[in-house]
């Protein structure tokens, strides 16, 4: 069990820096009968905690007593995947569709642990060579100062990406059409809209903060829409370098949480601070609340130096 104490300097008497969040604990466990991959546990644990701490450092507020338990499993998959293990109802929109948020996000926001003693977040790492021969574990994952080897993928970047899914980049829409699977959607789904192009339907994210930052609706990965960007001349080529892209992770590269990533979480209702303070942020927040209220009413083969993304498993109702 690791204890994380993210801090923000807020207005305080005599200029004292006070915590904007209650202490948040992250516990890492392993689903590994026989401890077949036990030699990797320490590295995975340090990396997971560091990635979680980085996301939490962007939260302006966390509910008192919130704790996140992460269970790491090992599977015959190409890379890695991650999700919240549960979801929580938050409202019904104007069309009678139930809106749910990721269980981990709900716990951080409200302090309510939807699934009790069970793990809040589930990560799986591929063991057909990905864990053993592809991932590079930073000796100091909190500092992230060492150079990433040119022939390896940075494990902290991978865990940051998977935490992004567990916190909000997730849903139940059809990856191509954008159709809902049933009378329910995620808080991310609530901002996804289809856009018809000459080459077919492209799904876009339309949250207010993301729109303002990106200057246009945010293109989502074709067929894997809980991610950002597309290749080549396709919509969103400029987003392929983003942490939450659905195309590639380049070897030898360290990925970080972007201002756009934070604005998307802001749009889906999480109390994150925006990476670059802007005039009118409070007005933007109010506008976002107004849009939410209105809503309530009304894999590519790898090339040299590249690993394909293959994750974003959805979260069960």
Nearest by Cα to 171 from 83, 294, 262, 93: 83
CA distance linking residue 220 with residue 47, whole number of Å: 27
Find tokens 């204890």 and name the residue.
Answer: 3
SS3 59: strand
Q: Are 214 and 260 in contact (CB under 8 A)?
A: yes
Q: Are 154 and 148 in contact (CB under 8 A)?
A: yes
CA distance linking residue 16 with residue 279, whole number of Å: 24
Find tokens 């063991």 and name the residue.
Answer: 127
CA distance linking residue 315 with residue 31, whole number of Å: 18
**pTM, whole model, 2 decimals?**
0.83
Q: Which helix (H) or strand (E) holds 103?
A: helix 103-110
Q: Strands of 192-197's sheet, edge to edge?
A: 192-197, 200-205, 218-219
The one-digit pLDDT tens for each residue of the chain (317 residues) are 333 333 333 322 233 333 434 468 899 999 999 999 999 999 999 999 999 999 999 999 999 989 999 999 999 999 999 999 999 999 999 999 999 999 999 999 999 999 999 999 999 999 999 999 999 999 999 999 999 999 999 999 999 999 999 999 999 999 999 999 999 999 999 999 999 877 778 899 999 999 999 999 999 999 999 999 999 877 899 999 999 999 999 999 999 999 999 999 999 999 999 855 444 444 444 444 444 444 444 433 233 344 344 344 443 33
Please provide the DSSP assignment of 215-243 as one string.
SSPEEBPTT-TTSB--STTSTTGGGTTST
Task: Provide the token pair at 246.
Answer: 């659905």
């Amino acid at each position: 069990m690791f204890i994380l104490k993210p801090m923000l300097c807020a207005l305080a008497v005599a200029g004292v820096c006070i915590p904007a969040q209650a202490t948040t604990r992250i516990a890492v466990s392993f689903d590994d009968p026989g401890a077949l991959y036990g030699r990797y546990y320490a590295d995975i644990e340090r990396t997971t905690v560091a990635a979680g701490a980085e996301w939490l450092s962007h939260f302006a507020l966390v509910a008192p007593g919130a704790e996140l338990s992460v269970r790491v499993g090992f599977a015959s998959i190409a890379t890695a995947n991650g999700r919240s293990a549960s979801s929580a109802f938050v409202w019904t929109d104007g069309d009678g569709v139930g809106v749910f948020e990721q269980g981990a996000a709900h716990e951080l926001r409200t302090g309510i642990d939807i699934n009790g003693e069970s793990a809040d977040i589930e990560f799986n790492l591929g063991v057909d060579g990905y864990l053993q021969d592809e991932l590079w574990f930073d000796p100091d994952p909190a500092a992230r100062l060492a150079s990433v080897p040119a022939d390896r993928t940075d494990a902290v970047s991978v865990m940051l990406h998977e935490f992004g899914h567990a916190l909000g980049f997730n849903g139940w829409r059809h990856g191509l059409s954008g159709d809902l699977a049933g009378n329910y959607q995620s808080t991310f789904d609530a901002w996804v809209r289809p856009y018809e192009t000459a080459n077919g339907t492209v799904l876009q994210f339309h949250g207010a903060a993301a729109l303002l930052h990106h200057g246009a609706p945010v293109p989502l990965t074709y067929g894997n829409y809980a991610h950002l960007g597309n290749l080549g001349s396709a919509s969103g080529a400029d987003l392929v370098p983003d942490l939450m892209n659905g195309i590639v992770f380049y070897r030898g590269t360290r990925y970080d949480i972007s201002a756009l990533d934070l604005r998307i979480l802001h749009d889906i209702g999480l109390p994150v601070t925006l990476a670059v303070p802007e005039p009118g942020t409070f007005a933007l927040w109010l506008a976002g609340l107004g849009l939410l209220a209105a809503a309530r009413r009304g894999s590519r083969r790898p090339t040299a130096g590249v690993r394909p993304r293959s994750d974003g498993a959805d979260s069960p109702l």
